[in-house]
C-alpha cells in the first residue's frame, strides 16, 4: 500500500512539472505555430500594395519632383520681389534668374537716398530669403 501511494504521489508531482498550458510558450503560439504575427499583417500588406498612393519624391534628391506645388523660377522671382517690398525700404525692379545667379534691381523711393548700411541690410535679407542663389543686387 505504501508503495502504491508513493507511486501515485510521484506521478502527480512529475505530472505537475510538465503543465504545457501554463508554460510561457503557450502564450505566443497556437497548436500549429501560426500566430507569432498578428492575423491582419498579411492583409495589411496586401491592402497597401493595392492602394494607388503617389510617391513623395522629395525624400530622394535623385527623383524629380513633379508635384504641382513645386517652387519654380516664377515663384522665386515673386518671393524676391515680396521680400524687397515688405522688408526693405526699396521698391522692387526687374529680377532675373540665370542658373544659380539672380540679378535683382531695386529702386530708391522718390526723394530719398539710403546709406550703405541700409543697402547691405536689404541685400542680407534677400540672401537669407533665397539662399540657393548667388544674388547680385543693383540699386538705381
* 91 within some domain: yes
What pLDDT does residue 35 have? 55
Residue at 19 is within a domain = no
56-108 confidence digits (pLDDT tens): 656 666 666 666 676 677 888 999 999 999 988 899 999 999 988 999 999 98
User: Structurally, how many domains does the chain consist of?
Assistant: 1
| Coil, strand or helix at 83 | helix
Residue 133, domain CATH: 3.30.70
Q: Which residues constitute the domain of residue 118?
A: 73-139
Residue 115 lies in a domain: yes
pLDDT digits (tens, 9 = 90+) for 3-48: 888 888 888 777 666 655 555 554 545 555 555 555 555 555 556 6
The pLDDT, as a whole number, for residue 73 is 79
| DSSP run (H or E) holding 12 | helix 2-17
Amino acid at each position: 500500500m505504501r508503495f502504491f501511494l508513493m507511486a501515485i504521489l510521484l506521478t502527480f508531482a512529475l505530472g505537475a512539472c510538465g503543465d504545457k498550458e501554463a508554460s510561457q510558450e503557450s502564450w505566443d503560439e497556437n497548436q500549429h505555430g501560426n500566430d507569432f504575427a498578428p492575423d491582419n499583417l498579411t492583409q495589411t500588406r496586401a491592402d497597401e500594395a493595392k492602394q494607388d498612393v503617389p510617391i513623395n519624391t522629395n525624400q530622394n534628391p535623385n527623383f524629380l519632383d513633379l508635384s504641382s506645388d513645386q517652387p519654380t523660377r516664377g515663384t522665386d522671382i515673386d518671393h524676391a520681389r515680396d521680400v524687397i517690398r515688405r522688408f526693405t525700404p526699396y521698391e522692387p525692379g526687374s529680377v532675373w534668374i540665370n542658373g544659380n545667379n539672380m540679378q535683382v534691381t531695386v529702386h530708391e523711393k522718390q526723394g530719398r537716398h539710403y546709406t550703405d548700411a541700409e543697402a547691405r541690410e536689404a541685400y542680407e535679407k534677400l540672401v537669407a530669403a533665397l539662399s540657393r542663389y548667388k544674388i547680385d543686387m543693383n540699386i538705381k
